Amino acid sequence: GRAPRGPEPASSGTRGGFSFLPPARGALEVGEVPVGCLLVYEGRVLGEGRNEVNETKNATRHAEMVAIDQVLDWCRQNNKNHEEVFSNSVLYVTVEPCIMCAAARFGGCGSVLSISSDDMVDTGEPFECISGYYAKEAVELLKAFYRQENPNAPKSKVRKKDRRK
């Protein structure tokens, strides 16, 4: 079965009583693309992730993958079946998950490909995707990221400050 839908979001950046914007803010503070997520099972946060791509120099360390790894660890430590846990979990994420994260279970929620649809082959059970919560806040975090200079960019790709005007 699917995890129940939570109540309507509060104004503090929460959904279902869980705050999912702070991990994204944490990513921005360390120069990562500001994506944050929570994986909640039976009312308990089992995974909290933020992008760690730049700091780990690993392109797969998206927020969702970090949270998934935490849930897998929890399942091993608590002798729980990860398939049951994931199928009954709720994912809260600041932006639509990419196709890599969709393949892990989530995402592709309609902008390019609708992984959540039961018309897809071999994607597991269909799931409900509700979008638009805290879209303004998520967009503002992304804008803040793209206004700053990328410290990992090659020198030839670094924007000149006078060109940004």
48 catalytically annotated: no
* Pair 90, 73: CB distance under 8 Å: no
Burial (CB count within 10 angstroms: exposed 0-12, middle 13-18, buried 19+), residue 115: buried
Provide the H-helix boundaries in the chain. 21-29, 53-56, 63-77, 82-87, 99-104, 135-147
**What is the residue extent of each domain of the chain?**
14-163
* Pair 137, 21: CB distance under 8 Å: yes
Measured between alpha carbons, how far is 79 from 77 in angstroms, rounded to an integer? 6
- Higher pLDDT, residue 46 or 129: 46
pLDDT value of residue 60: 92
Tokens of residue 58, six digits: 């690993």
State the CB neighbour count (10 A cutoff) for residue 30. Answer: 12
Confidence of residue 124 (pLDDT cuts 50, 70, 90): low
Which one of 55, 64, 84, 140 is the catalytic residue?
Answer: 64
pLDDT tens, position by position, 81-117: 998 998 899 889 898 877 777 665 544 455 444 545 5
Measured between alpha carbons, how far is 8 from 3 in angstroms, rounded to an integer? 15
Tokens of residue 86, six digits: 């994931």
pTM of the model: 0.72
The fold of the 14-163 domain, in CATH, is: Cytidine Deaminase; domain 2 (3.40.140)
